[in-house]
């Protein structure tokens, strides 16, 4: 009597394993992120299509090579040492890294590197996933520039000026040097705008800004805070006298004629300056107000000059103001005294016009 004998094998686990392998292969092939796999010693054993699209290197060009062929040269040895330390200690590293495409173009990527360990826990391969974020970084830089720089002249704006001034004040305290804040307002700019139009006025502002910047040291800051108002911060001054040549050069640069089409435009500038540290504690906003008040005195004294804020006289005026405020209203109404505004007496009678 003939019969049939059947043998049944449970291949569920094998099918699951095959499905996992198929899924892994699909992810490797179709992922938008670049994928690079190396041996434990750093030899490239496989890359996906996205890797080739991002870097410009074909698979055959990189297999057997070291990832160093992508190096941009922007990172030092300490950077890579920290990366390997993280991989050894934690099994992964994540961060931004600058690399170079086959074309030579440098690009920035967001990269995650993970170690694949064997049964004994030793690294067997390293898998790197990365995305090209160059466009994102460029957009960030563009937004940062819009937020921190004047669109017309390219100078730092009020936001960046405030940050640099506060940093400079902290540095001046640590190092025992002086810092100068110079508030500069162009004389006659409105008349040029009214007579020749805003385009000519803009060309004048650009020309004046360029020339004034050229008179300063690289460590100094010149900012445009609006309209025809500029602020210069002069760092690391041995004493107040050390600022005088720079202030005179700023005034001379502001007064140089600027060509604008067929026109030759010329203005002058009034400049007020104050110094930090002072005997009394002051903040960045107070320094700006002091320099602004001194600039106003320079205008009253005839323009095209600078005026130095006198903190001691300012305190004296404020003291007199408080003393008079202590009197009652009737006595003030019958008094023949008048109180002079601190704005008009805050700076000492010390105005120097630039030499012709």
pLDDT tens, position by position, 312-339: 766 555 544 454 444 444 443 333 333 2
pLDDT at 345: 35
Give percent of the chain with pLDDT exceeding 70: 79
Burial 264-286 (b: 16+ CB within 10 A, else e): ebebbbbbbbbbbebeeebebee
Average of per-residue pLDDT values in the chain: 84
Quick: pLDDT tens for 215-254.
999 999 999 999 999 999 999 999 999 999 999 999 999 9
Which domains does the chain show, CATH number per domain? 19-138 (3.30.450.20), 149-352 (3.30.70.270)
Higher pLDDT pick, 90 / 9: 90
Closest residue by Cα to residue 284 from 156, 174, 155, 161? 161
pLDDT at 32: 85
Higher pLDDT pick, 13 / 51: 51
Q: Which sequence positions are flagged as catalytic?
A: 228
Does 303 have pLDDT greater than 90?
yes
Parallel, antiparallel or unpaired: strands 305-309 and 347-352: antiparallel
Quick: pLDDT tens for 24-57.
555 566 678 899 999 999 999 999 999 999 999 9
Confidence of residue 306 (pLDDT cuts 50, 70, 90): very high
Give percent of the chain with pLDDT exceeding 90: 71
pLDDT at 155: 97
What integer is the mean pLDDT of 127-135? 93
User: With DSSP H G I counted as helix, E B as strand and the rest as coil, what are the percentages for the chain, rounded to 5?
Assistant: 45, 25, 25
pLDDT at 30: 62
Which single residue is written with the structure tokens 């290197």? 57
pLDDT at 26: 55
What's the token pair of residue 162? 């405030």
pLDDT at 2: 61
Q: How far apart are CA 323 and CA 317, in angstroms?
A: 10
Lowest mean pLDDT of 60-64, 72-76, 150-154, 335-339, name the range.
Answer: 335-339
Q: How far apart are CA 103 and CA 246, in angstroms?
A: 46
Lowest mean pLDDT of 21-30, 126-135, 205-214, 250-259, name the range.
Answer: 21-30
Q: Are 189 and 198 in contact (CB under 8 A)?
A: no
Confidence of residue 9 (pLDDT cuts 50, 70, 90): low
Q: How far apart are CA 93 and CA 110, in angstroms?
A: 11
pLDDT at 318: 53
Reported pTM: 0.67
Q: How far apart are CA 220 and CA 164, in angstroms?
A: 10
């Amino acid at each position: 009597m003939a019969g049939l004998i059947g043998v049944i094998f449970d291949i569920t686990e094998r099918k699951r394993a095959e499905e996992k392998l198929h899924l892994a292969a699909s992810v490797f092939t179709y992922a938008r992120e670049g994928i690079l796999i190396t041996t434990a010693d750093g030899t490239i054993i496989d890359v996906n299509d996205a890797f080739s699209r991002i870097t410009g290197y074909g698979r055959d060009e990189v297999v057997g090579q070291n990832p160093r062929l992508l190096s941009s040269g922007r990172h030092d040895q300490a950077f890579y040492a920290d990366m390997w330390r993280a991989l050894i200690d934690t099994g992964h590293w994540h961060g931004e890294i600058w690399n170079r495409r086959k074309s030579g173009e440098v690009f920035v990527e967001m990269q995650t590197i993970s170690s694949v360990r064997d049964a004994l826990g030793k690294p067997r391969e390293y898998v790197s996933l990365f995305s090209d974020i160059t466009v994102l970084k460029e957009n960030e830089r563009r937004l940062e520039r819009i937020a921190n720089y004047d669109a017309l002249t390219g100078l730092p704006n009020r936001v960046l000026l405030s940050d640099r001034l506060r940093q400079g004040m902290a540095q001046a305290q640590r190092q025992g040097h002086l810092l100068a804040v110079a508030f500069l307002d162009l004389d006659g700019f409105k008349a040029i705008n009214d007579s020749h139009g805003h385009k000519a006025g803009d060309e004048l502002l650009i020309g004046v800004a360029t020339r004034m910047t050229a008179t300063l040291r690289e460590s100094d800051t010149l900012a445009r805070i609006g309209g025809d108002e500029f602020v210069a911060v002069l760092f690391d001054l041995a004493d107040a006298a050390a600022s005088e040549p720079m202030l005179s050069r700023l005034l001379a640069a502001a007064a140089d004629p600027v060509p604008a089409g067929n026109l030759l435009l010329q203005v002058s500038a009034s400049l007020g300056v104050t110094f930090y540290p002072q005997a009394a504690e002051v903040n960045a906003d107070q320094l700006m107000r002091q320099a602004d008040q001194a600039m106003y005195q320079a205008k009253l004294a005839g323009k095209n000059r600078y005026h130095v804020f006198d903190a001691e006289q300012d305190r004296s005026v404020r003291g007199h103001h408080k003393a008079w405020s202590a009197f009652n209203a009737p006595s003030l109404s019958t008094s023949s005294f008048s109180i002079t505004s601190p704005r008009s007496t805050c700076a000492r009678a010390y105005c120097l016009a630039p030499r012709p």
